[in-house]
Amino acid sequence: MHDTARSTADRRRLARGLPALRDADERAIARFIDAVWAEHGLARQSLEAYRRDLEQLARWLDGARGGLEGADRQTLHDYLAWRFGQGYKPRSNARLRASLRGFYAHLVRLGVRADDPAALLEPPRLPRPLPKALTESQVEALLAAPAVDTPEGLRDRAMLELMYAAGLRVSELVNLPANAVNLRQGVVRVLGKGGKERLVPLGEESQDWLERYLAKARPQLAGGRPVPADAHGQVPLFLTPARQAPTRQAYWQALKRHAAVAGIDPRTVTPHGLRHSFATHLLNRGADLRALQLLLGHASLSTTQIYTLVAREHLQRLHARHHPRG
């Protein structure tokens, strides 16, 4: 087994034109791995990742430029540039930077080096993951999935409508107190991250389903008795048959069930995905980015700007599909 792994590693090394590991570098790496294990008790996978990163740098250097222990900052930059040319991914280079910083900080602590060439290495830019949004037709199917002839189904319909109408986080949704909704004014008061409050419009559909839930389903779920307050002294808006607010996990599972009923792959549907859908659909229909920031409760506009990438992709697809020169 070990010989097979070594031969595979050798084939990869030879394919990249890298020489064998020098004894001095192998000893330096082994001392570092032992020290990291003793100090931090890292998992075997993490230690092996450190080892691989350092061994590849040592082979690339092959004793030149001071070898592994003597490499300067420019050498490390050159190595990162070489990796970029070899097609290494940004996340792999981000992990490499952590390995280099740990190794050279270790040499400084031992007195082997007076400086740390990896201390000022700039982190590689990682690609920002685009939110996964449902299409408008998928959202319509999802909203219509709950069986509204049952109290739980009517509650789930009201929760889905509210989450999509107001772009709520799942924690904000399940923890809404009963006094957070003002049906007369058509707004919901949301307590977001950092304890910041925001007022979000309900929309006619969401307001209608909330009225139905409050009139029919909630009294049945409460069993005709007063609903006890939670640990924060708040009476929850949405109830389970136990007269408590649903948990985030329970809502997640309900969302998966409704997605399956709607003919949508449940693996592609998440509570946060519904919030992303709210933002993406608003932007696609011309919403202002600053207004979207307020509706989502983002502290910084830069957080909201990721949705412009989604909208741009949508416009590009429309152009390619409908323009005669697309």
Residues acting as catalytic residues: 169, 193, 272, 275, 298, 307
Q: Strands 197-201, 187-191: parallel, antiparallel or unpaired by DSSP?
A: antiparallel
Distances in Å between the Cα of 259 and the Cα atoms of 78, 134, 208, 231 are: 50, 11, 22, 32
> In sequence order, what are the beta bridge partners of 108?
none
Distance CA 326, CA 313 (A): 14
Q: Which tokens go with 252?
A: 């997640």
Amino acid at 267: R
Query: What phi and psi, each to the nearest 5 degrees, are found at residue 5?
Result: -65, -40
Give burial (CB, 10 Å; 0-12/13-18/19+) of 143. Answer: buried
Q: Among 314, 313, 294, which Cα is nearest to 304's?
A: 294
Give the number of other CB atoms < 10 A from CB of residue 16. Answer: 12
